[in-house]
Amino acid sequence: MPLSAYVELMKLRIDALLLLVAAAGYVATSGARIDDVRFSLLLTAGFLAAAGASATNHYLDRDLDAVMRRTRARPLPQRRIEPPAHALEFGLGLAALGIAIAGFGINLLTAAMIGLGFAVYIGVYTLGLKRAHPSNIVVGGFAGSCPALAGSAAAANAISLPALLIALLVFLWTPGHFWALAYRSREDYRRAQLPMLPAISDDRTAIWAIAGSTGLVGVAAIAFALTPAFQGLYLVVAVVSGVVLLGINRRFLAHPSPETAWVGYKFSGVYLALLLLAMMADAILRIPV
């Protein structure tokens, strides 16, 4: 069984973004007072749990992945891992190890937040809503917020205001980001009979849902600078990147197509990363308005 197939199960690019969310939650809470050991343990535990959740998701969605063009080359549809239960064992093992490292190496609150993220992603999203209701990515998107809460818990054994705002940012960002992908791949989602909003609604509803969700994120991100959590440096990045985001969003609204949806999808990931990096830099440098 090739190692590369197991690496593919882990979805490393998604893991990297979730680790950035966790790091932002930690640094926005701790400021410049970063405990190298705790921070390293947080990233290790977060990576293992995120990779485990991805591998578990691969196993549970293997029938859907075989139907969709975008996912049919994944390891399980291609039978590069046999039997498929090995993927499930791999995923659950990684997740359990990550939660254990957080619980024994950091504190129980960090472990609980990491475990909550796994439970929401697998239990609520993958098993509960993904195949059943168009609210799937809206509710399930909370899983991506949990790393920010875990980061705060690792820094202070408590949930800070900055971490709550980061969690809210990720929660608001998730629907528009994934709806843009679903808009581009509507036929794939319809073939798999998945009730992702752009695949089951009329074109106008899908376009306004994506544009409205994206616009809300841009406005909310700037509004965060009105709180004590984030200050001048963050505000500059939020405004500049928000103008670009809203410009791309306006273009999609004026000329909706798979191509403009794809541009929005790609930039929204960059946009979130920029905001998270700005939040960390702001917490360390504290440049006032």
Q: Rounded distance, CA 4 to CA 114, Å?
A: 26
Q: Rounded distance, CA 201 to CA 194, Å?
A: 12
Q: Rounded distance, CA 59 to CA 103, Å?
A: 26
Instruction: Report the predicted TM-score, pTM, of the whole model to 2 decimal places.
Output: 0.95
CB of 181 closer than 8 Å to CB of 71: no
Q: Rounded distance, CA 85 to CA 72, Å?
A: 18
- Tell which residue, 177, 180, 158, has the closest CA to residue 169: 177
Q: Where are the domains of the chain?
A: 3-285
> Sign of the CA dihedral 272, 198, 51, 73?
negative
pLDDT at 289: 42
- Tell which residue, 143, 109, 108, has the closest CA to residue 123: 143
Q: Rounded distance, CA 284 to CA 162, Å?
A: 13
Q: Enter the tokens of residue 284.
A: 């360390």
DSSP classification of residue 33:
-
Q: Rounded distance, CA 197 to CA 175, Å?
A: 10
Residues in the chain with pLDDT < 70? 1, 287-289
pLDDT at 1: 52
Percent of the chain clearing pLDDT 70 (strictly above):
99
> Per-residue pLDDT tens for 15-72?
999 999 999 999 999 999 999 999 999 999 999 999 999 999 999 999 999 999 989 9
Give the domain 3-285 fold: Farnesyl Diphosphate Synthase (1.10.600)
User: From residue 106, how far is each of 27, 33, 99, 120, 126 by CA, in Å?
Assistant: 15, 16, 10, 22, 28
How far is residue 94 CA from its own chain's centroid?
18
CB of 162 closer than 8 Å to CB of 284: no
